[in-house]
């Protein structure tokens, strides 16, 4: 075999080896990158769902029910105040078991929700982070009946993978990203879990998020 041809063949073989090695590395890194991207997005979605939960709980404390209307919930947060209550012993109680709730002031709901965060816009409460078309969280509210007579207010806010994982992360083609997202969805559904994030429940008296449950 001529020396020149041998060199060309070696170069081609080396290029093939490099290409195959890169494909192996890529196949290993891709699921890690996908999981990291999903975790990063879900962190912000969860933060928004926690804000919705806190707002709904305060709304219920003031109105004895939850609301399924984001506009009403946001307006409540913008205008309402909540009492600051100090619990003190009842001075007339000689058994030292009774207490008195003493209202010592009021705090704006907005201040309670905002906390120490500098950037907080209550108008964003209804929007799902990373959603490409400003999709809203799905929000429901109602009551469930216990012992045939007891009505318990409930609510649920949720968003599926297809919303906050709609756009491909960096380094992914749309086809590859969608395939990984669909695989993750199928895995959740195979064990009867919601393929997305949600807080509250329309079936039980719970304000837990599904990320807080095993």
Domain boundaries defined on the chain? 44-80+121-212
Q: What CA–CA distances, in Å, run from 72 to 15, 69, 75, 76, 135?
A: 63, 5, 5, 6, 18
Q: Which residue has the tokens 């919601």?
A: 194
> Dihedral of CA 5/6/10/13: which sign?
positive
Please report the pLDDT score of residue 111 as a whole number: 87
Instruction: Give 105's contacts (C-beta < 8 A, 6+ positions apart).
Output: 83, 84
Which secondary structure element, helix H or strand E, spans residue 32, and what is its range? helix 3-63
Please report the pLDDT score of residue 133 as a whole number: 92
Q: Are 165 and 38 in contact (CB under 8 A)?
A: yes
Please report the pLDDT score of residue 85 as a whole number: 65
Instruction: Give 116's contacts (C-beta < 8 A, 6+ positions apart).
Output: none
SS3 of residue 95 by DSSP: coil
Q: Which residue has the tokens 């009551």?
A: 143
Ordered per-residue pLDDT tens for the chain, 214 residues: 556 656 666 666 656 655 555 555 555 567 889 999 999 999 999 999 999 999 999 999 999 999 999 999 999 999 998 777 677 676 776 666 676 666 676 778 888 888 888 888 999 999 999 999 999 999 999 999 988 888 999 999 999 999 999 999 988 999 999 999 999 999 999 999 999 999 999 999 999 999 997 5
Measured distance CA(137)–CA(155) in Å, rounded: 12
| pTM as predicted | 0.80
Measured distance CA(167)–CA(159) in Å, rounded: 15
How distant is the alpha carbon of residue 91 from its chain centre? Answer: 46
State the maximum Cα–Cα separation within the chain, in Å, rounded to a whole number. Answer: 110
Please report the pLDDT score of residue 148 as a whole number: 80
């Amino acid at each position: 075999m001529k020396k020149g041809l041998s060199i060309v063949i070696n170069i081609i073989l080396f290029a093939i080896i490099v290409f195959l090695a890169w494909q192996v590395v890529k196949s290993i890194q891709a699921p890690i990158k996908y999981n990291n991207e999903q975790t990063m997005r879900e962190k912000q979605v969860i933060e928004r769902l926690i804000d919705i939960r806190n707002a709904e709980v305060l709304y219920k404390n003031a109105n004895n029910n939850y609301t399924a209307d984001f506009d009403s919930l946001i307006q409540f947060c913008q205008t309402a105040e909540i009492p600051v209550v100090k619990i003190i012993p009842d001075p007339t109680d000689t058994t030292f078991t009774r207490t008195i709730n003493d209202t010592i002031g009021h705090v704006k709901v907005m201040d309670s929700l905002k906390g120490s965060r500098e950037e907080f816009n209550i108008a964003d409460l209804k929007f799902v982070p990373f959603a490409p078309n400003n999709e809203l969280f799905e929000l429901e509210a109602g009551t469930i009946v216990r012992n045939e007579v007891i009505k318990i207010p409930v609510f649920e806010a949720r968003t599926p993978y297809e919303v906050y994982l709609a756009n491909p992360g960096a380094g992914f083609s749309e086809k590859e990203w969608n395939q990984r997202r669909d695989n993750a969805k199928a895995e959740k559904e195979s064990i009867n879990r919601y393929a997305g994030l949600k807080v509250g429940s329309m079936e039980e008296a719970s304000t837990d998020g599904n990320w807080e449950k095993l």
